[in-house]
């Protein structure tokens, strides 16, 4: 049965409530931002139950969202700009930057769909219609020359509300994304209290991190978009969300550490190792096939001196453990988890800066077709992000869901579980034939909680 279409009711653009002198100046990107030119926007959203009280007005709710968003954008003003590019001839290169001039602001869309929250949450797989709850479908970050860098889409369901945000990944990573959402939710919750003020508890640090001794304007050695923009056609995937209770995860972590005679392996490393093993088994690789597990790592605290958590920009890299399918499956989950722990533990200031020096000498942009290894598992996001603390006056969200962006066979996104207490949800994307084997794998299903 085909899902109903998501109908757009209205859309507009939102500008900062106050525009400082700083907000009128261009911002030049760091190398970690520029690397993201050809990836998709970040698309994450929250599904809420519609309030049962008779006083709820969608018109008032939308107005409050817009007003609090405008106040929040006073601090996160880069989200209201557009990208701009200057071409240089000697040597041939481009400089991409944030241009606040002549931008209409962040986009705000109100839409509706004839579906219930149960229609979204009950099916085994995440319904394809969820992708329609986000703007900028299939856009890459370079499209931010014409598209808004932030687009909010508020979709009314029969008995729920979905708030989906698409943020240009050049502006920030997951830490920055949820920092913005947390600040917006706090601003919404405080409406009416000192409404003439727009203070937030954690102001973002907008100055870009540039390697010491480098030109503050980092250029890329390209002359044409075709040299760095890639729009791969992704195959049809199945997407499922699996829940793991804190008790199940504690047992898995204890097992992994016990197998290796250590206490250093974390919960997420243990869970990632389990997924890596089970996905590899589902893919039916030959024993000598090389496979890896990549984990996204926040560099802020790993640099010396450390970069504050409030830094608004990209500060992530991936670390990788590599082995053969045969070796991975011949050993236990602890062996794989220890490899991941060692990869994370060895990622410090020295190799971060060495990697950046190498990039500065030979800059490149992430090409999804090249840099996302189809024989590996890619762990993204973090269960440490505060997702369910964002209530927007609607109570705790029913679920965190994501859009089309940055998904491929083997992409696994981690979220905190709704009940908290250390529980984790994993959003797993696999080719249909691989998902069928994965979801029936006894090693994996034994720790999944319904």
Residue 321 has pLDDT above 60, yes or no: yes
Minimal CA–CA distance to 318: which of 369, 378, 367, 362?
A: 378
pLDDT of residue 213: 87
Task: Give the pLDDT confidence of 144-195 residue by residue, as tens digits.
Answer: 999 999 999 999 999 999 999 999 999 999 999 999 999 999 999 987 555 5
Side-chain half-sphere of 161: how many Cα atoms within 13 Å?
23
How much is the average pLDDT of 301-307?
96
pLDDT of residue 3: 74
pLDDT of residue 368: 75
Choice among 233-237, 315-319, 380-384 with the minimum mean pLDDT = 233-237
Q: DSSP character for 79?
A: G
Please enumerate in sequence order all residues whose Cβ is within 8 A of that of 73, keeping only pairs 6 or more positions apart, or say none.
14, 15, 16, 17, 79, 80, 105, 106
How much is the average pLDDT of 443-448?
96
Q: Return the higher-pLDDT residue of 102 and 322.
A: 322
pLDDT of residue 193: 57
- Taking each helix axis from N to C end, the angle separating 267-283 and 246-260, rounded to the nearest 10 degrees, works out to 80
How much is the average pLDDT of 274-278?
98
Task: Give the pLDDT confidence of 403-438 residue by residue, as tens digits.
Answer: 999 999 999 999 999 999 999 999 999 999 999 999
Please enumerate in sequence order all residues whose Cβ is within 8 A of that of 195, keeping only pairs 6 or more positions apart, or say none.
none
Q: Return the higher-pLDDT residue of 196 and 396.
A: 396
SS3 of residue 270 by DSSP: helix
Residue 333 has pLDDT above 90, yes or no: yes
Please enumerate in sequence order all residues whose Cβ is within 8 A of that of 83, keeping only pairs 6 or more positions apart, or say none.
96, 97, 98, 99, 141, 142, 144, 145, 149, 168, 170
How much is the average pLDDT of 356-367?
93
Computed from CA positions of residues 228, 379, 302, 340, in that sequence, does the dihedral angle turn out positive or negative? negative
How much is the average pLDDT of 220-243?
92
């Amino acid at each position: 049965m085909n899902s109903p279409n998501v109908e757009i009711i209205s859309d507009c653009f939102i500008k900062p409530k106050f525009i400082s002198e700083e907000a009128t100046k261009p911002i030049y990107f760091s190398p970690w931002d520029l690397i993201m030119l050809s990836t998709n926007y970040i698309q994450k959203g929250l599904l809420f139950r519609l309030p049962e009280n008779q006083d709820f007005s969608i018109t008032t709710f939308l107005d409050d969202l817009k007003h609090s968003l405008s106040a929040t954008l006073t601090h996160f003003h880069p989200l209201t700009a557009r990208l701009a590019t200057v071409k240089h001839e000697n040597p041939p290169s481009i400089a991409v930057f944030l241009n606040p001039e002549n931008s209409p602001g962040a986009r705000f869309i109100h839409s509706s769909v004839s579906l219930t929250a149960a229609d979204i949450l009950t099916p085994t797989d995440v319904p394809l219609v969820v992708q329609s709850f986000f703007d900028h479908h299939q856009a890459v970050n370079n499209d931010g020359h014409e598209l808004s860098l932030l687009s909010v889409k508020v979709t009314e369901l029969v008995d729920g509300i979905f708030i989906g945000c698409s943020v240009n990944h050049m502006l920030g990573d997951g830490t920055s994304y949820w920092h913005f959402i947390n600040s917006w939710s706090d601003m919404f919750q405080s409406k009416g209290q000192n409404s003439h003020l727009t203070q937030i508890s954690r102001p973002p640090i907008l100055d870009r991190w540039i390697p010491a001794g480098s030109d503050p304007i980092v250029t890329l050695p390209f002359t044409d978009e075709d040299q760095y923009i890639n729009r791969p056609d992704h195959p049809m995937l199945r997407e499922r969300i699996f829940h793991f209770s804190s008790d199940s995860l504690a047992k898995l972590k204890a097992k992994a550490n016990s197998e290796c005679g250590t206490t250093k392996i974390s919960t997420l490393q243990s869970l990632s190792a389990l997924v890596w093993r089970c996905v590899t088994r589902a893919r039916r690789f030959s024993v000598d096939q090389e496979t890896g597990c990549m984990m996204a790592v926040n560099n802020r605290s790993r640099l010396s001196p450390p970069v504050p958590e409030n830094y608004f920009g990209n500060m992530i890299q991936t670390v990788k453990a590599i082995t053969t399918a045969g070796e991975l499956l011949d050993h236990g989950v602890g062996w794989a988890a220890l490899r991941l722990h060692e990869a994370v533990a060895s990622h410090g200031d020295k190799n971060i800066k060495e990697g950046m020096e190498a990039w500065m000498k030979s800059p490149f942009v992430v090409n999804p077709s090249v840099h996302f290894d189809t024989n590996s598992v890619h762990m993204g996001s973090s269960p440490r992000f505060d997702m369910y603390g964002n209530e927007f006056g609607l109570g705790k969200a029913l679920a965190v869901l994501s859009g089309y962006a940055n998904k491929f066979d083997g992409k696994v996104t981690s979220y905190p579980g709704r009940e908290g207490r250390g529980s984790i949800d994993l959003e797993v994307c696999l080719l249909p034939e691989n998902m069928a084997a994965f979801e029936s794998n006894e090693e994996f299903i034994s720790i999944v909680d319904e």
